[in-house]
Amino acid sequence: MPSAIEVRKVPLHSVSDASELGRLIDDGVFEADRVIAVIGKTEGNGGVNDYTRIIADRAFREMLVSKGADAERVKEVPIVWSGGTDGVISPHATIFATVDPDPAHGPTDEPRLTVGFAMSEKLLPEDIGRQAMVSKVADAVKVAMERAGITDPAEVHYVQTKTPLLTIDTIQDAKSRGHDVFTEDTLASMDVSNGGTALGIAVALGEIEMPRDEDVLRDRSLYSSVASCSSGVELDRAQVVVVGNAPGVGGRYRIGHSVMKDALDQDGVWEAIRSAGLDLPERPRTADLDGRLVNVFLKCEASQDGQVRGRRNAMLDDSDVHWHRQIKACVGGVAAAVTGDPAVFVSVSAAHQGPDGGGPVAAIVDLG
């Protein structure tokens, strides 16, 4: 049976800052060698050349080692950084660690937060956005579920991934071996990688059947309601973190999910919080959270028809500011208005992650 989980959100005071992680360890909240995953936002541009993700990754791993964690084990800890804190979004990290059973919150039949991690087989450049990627990701999701102690796919509420995107070098590598790639536009390959990964999650959880190559980025009716996919230059496999609930693990925390139907759907955020187990009034306000919301995790996407609730917008036609940054700032503001906290995890490029123009929302709450 997996261990109980402690989960905390901490601010980043600079892109290379991991001091708040160190403070949690010093205060005895958890031990350095029991940190099992980190999911965070950095203040870079969120693009192919966003090296703030690498800087933050190094800072957190070095902090864990300096606090006594085994250096080799730390290399394997999944640390997923999403670049870009547009608008009011504040740089932060959510840290997951195993803890010893607390007599007050010991193992019960009540489902509580559990986390599982896996790495896929190597993803070749020619795999990205195609059935090979979907299959490799699906296999890794199933392994992560098993490690989390989750047997029912309905108890998976959030799957955070990091996968490779295409770069000039990897495109040339594929060509040198006689293969083509989905796209030679490296920025567009972020959407391709995220979309292919999301379809793999959906297949693993039984949300859809195996899609065709030609469905990727085209058939937006195919999606996962729990996928949160990020891509970058940091790795060549799919790094998969499955977060859900399982009976018997104990702990104070629980996770739930919903979807935003469009970029303004505050009700979707509230529904995710309710799904996690907080009892809220019919028309909730931020004060009703009473400090019990740990964090929300959202994906967002500009609607393919260029509209929100029947009103035209110009995001997809804007040549000055890419729509990635505009929709992220918009949805970040909506989420922060609900939670009362700008440190919300909002990531863009949500192809096949929730309905077109919307996106999945996961919420972790403290039931203690």
Residues involved in catalysis:
162, 230
- Report whether 269 contacts 298 (CB < 8 A): yes
Distance between CA 56 and CA 79 in Å, rounded?
9
Q: Which residues contact 172 (CB under 8 A, 6 or more apart)?
A: none
Distances 173 to 104, 167, 180, 187 between C-alpha atoms, Å: 55, 10, 10, 18
Complete DSSP assignment for 237-261: EEEEEEEEEETT---SEEEEEEEES
Distances 114 to 10, 118, 157 between C-alpha atoms, Å: 20, 14, 10
- Report whether 235 contacts 164 (CB < 8 A): yes
- Torsional sign, CA 65, 241, 145, 24: positive
CB atoms within 10 A of CB 87: 17
Q: Which residues contact 148 (CB under 8 A, 6 or more apart)?
A: 2, 114, 115, 116, 242, 243, 244, 246
- Report whether 336 contacts 88 (CB < 8 A): yes
Distance between CA 362 and CA 255 in Å, rounded?
7
Distance between CA 339 and CA 331 in Å, rounded?
12
Distances 368 to 38, 115, 268, 283 between C-alpha atoms, Å: 22, 18, 24, 24
Distance between CA 82 and CA 39 in Å, rounded?
8
